[in-house]
Amino acid sequence: MTEVEKMRNSLLADMSSPELQVRFEHAKKLLARMRGMSTYDEGYRKLLEELVPGMPETSVICPPFYCDHGDGIKLGEHVFVNANCTFLDGGYITIGAHTLIGPCVQIYTPHHPMDYLERRGSKEYAYPVAVGEDCWIGGGAIICPGVTIGDRCVIGAGSVVTKDIPDDSIAVGNPARVIRRRD
């Protein structure tokens, strides 16, 4: 099994492997070219679609944007990602249609081993994150590895989501807690 396959399947992967380093380098070079651009600049969309293959024409990611690979990000139709977001996509990050992501939102899939010797060896796990359809993730929110946020949810600005959030919920705080359910 390759290191990419291990990473995508939530198995302990070697982040220092040449296979993964080539992927990191490719993404970082594309991101560097995009960083000084706006969504209106000629060529921005082409670079974005190279970074995030299969990105719907109706979806937007505003620069600056940060990610590890790009191809681990799967967006539905009409998704809006505001500026200064970080998506660490060792595991897949799936965002449903009509979802709004505020500025400075961070979505993390990597999880480092608790054993310090394994961490020294550049090893990590990656657990997928899923955000449902018609969600609004407030600015500065952090979504931790392995979390699923259901459809039609609102996550308050600055919240830290460490556990799954069911459909039709409003969740806020650190850690995020459901404070209300939609009727």
Residue 61's pLDDT is 98
Residue 47, CA distances (Å) to 23, 141, 151, 162 in order: 15, 26, 30, 32
- Domains of the chain, residue spans: 3-181
Q: What is the mean pLDDT of the chain?
A: 97
Residue 9's pLDDT is 96
Residue percentage of the chain with pLDDT more than 90: 95
Q: Exactly one of 26, 78, 111, 112 is catalytic; name it.
A: 112
Q: Which of 85-89, 110-114, 152-156 has the least mean pLDDT?
A: 110-114
Pairing type for strands 110-111 and 93-95 reads unpaired
pLDDT band at residue 13, thresholds of 50, 70 and 90?
very high
Residue 117's pLDDT is 86
**Contact between 43 and 37 (Cβ < 8 Å):** yes
| Architecture of the structural domain at 3-181 | 3 Solenoid (2.160)
Residue 118's pLDDT is 82
Residue 112's pLDDT is 94
112 is catalytic: yes
38-71: per-residue pLDDT in tens? 999 999 999 999 999 999 999 999 999 999 999 9
Residue 149's pLDDT is 99
Closest of 26, 77, 68 to residue 47, by C-alpha = 26
Q: What is the mean pLDDT of residues 122-145?
A: 98
Residue 182's pLDDT is 86
Residue 56's pLDDT is 97
Q: Which of 53-62, 113-122, 150-159 has the least mean pLDDT?
A: 113-122
Q: How many CA atoms lie within 13 A of 60 on its CB side?
A: 11
